[in-house]
A = this chain, B = another copy of it.
């Protein structure tokens, strides 16, 4: 299959980087000798939780929005998302000075809804079902003529997310493997296209919750599978692969490693207590993978001593912490 058949390429990702560089942050990479000792490898954590909006999503959202013609942009954008893409799209729209309509399920995490509101997104509520979400989205679209920016199944979004890998490999050229979370697959698609074009021998591992394991099942079946229902604390990782991300995941992601919620929570604790960074469950899953028996015993990554882990976001509900303090 020729590279042109995929939704993104190194060229489109480099173009994305030029397009969005004034809108996003180059996020830092941190390390921890105690976690290195625990993993038996050198770990490099790419801190997308320090990204604008608290997650990598602004990369794809701003690439999509700044790719629009003036005529398109004027109509505004719309998306359906319970989480970080929604806030990122609202923020990117604000940066271009256009309206963003966000369809949000009523059970979305409060902190993520607040982020949408902080950036001036116009919220339309829907029920937490695909049908309700699509119906409300269609209604908003027909009323406003806004351009839909899908959370992951969009070439510009995938290319924007791929800029993570361009930075990461400049910051840590010796990476042998990159581990990133997988949900709809936008992030890992962009990363795998960029990283393998720059460094063909690099391994790309997708980290997925066992309670939403469509990507692992899709890879095993070599055909796209969906999540009929999901059960995981990682609220950012409940989507299923899309038509544009699946071919990239199929051909460029070396392995999907699943971990359960208790491993995700354990990894979160380590991020807070050792790395001193605030991650959401979805953000910590890469660390859970590198510490898992599945990864440790995998012969394909045995010689990967320099491991890049994308801490994808830090928009976490901390109510429990605040309630535990005096006052």
The segment out of A137-145, A200-208, A314-322 that lies at the interface is A314-322
* A71 proximal to B (CB < 8 A): no
Q: A30-B50, A314-B276, A318-B273 are in contact. Are A323 and B325 (CB under 8 A)?
A: no
Q: How many copies does the complex hold?
A: 2
Contact of A320 among B49, B54, B325 (CB under 8 A): B325
Interface size class of A (residues with CB under 8 A): 20 to 34
Q: Within residues 43 to 85 of chain A, which ones have a CB less than 8 A from any CB in chain B?
A: 47, 49-50, 54
Cα separation A265 to B318 with both chains bound (whole Å): 13
Q: In whole angstroms, how far apart are the Cα atoms of A244 and B301 in the complex? A: 55
> For the complex, is A148 an interface residue (Cβ under 8 Å from B)?
no
Flag whether A327 is at the interface (Cβ < 8 A).
yes
Q: How far is the CB of A215 from chain B (nearest CB, A)?
A: 23
Query: What are 22 A-to-B residue pairs whose CB atoms are below 8 Å?
Result: A30-B50, A34-B118, A47-B276, A49-B276, A50-B276, A233-B326, A265-B325, A269-B318, A269-B322, A273-B278, A273-B318, A276-B278, A277-B277, A277-B278, A278-B278, A320-B321, A320-B323, A320-B324, A321-B321, A321-B324, A323-B324, A324-B324
Residues of chain A having any CB pair with chain B under 8 Å:
28, 30, 34, 47, 49-50, 54, 111, 118, 233, 261-262, 265, 268-269, 272-273, 276-278, 314, 318-327
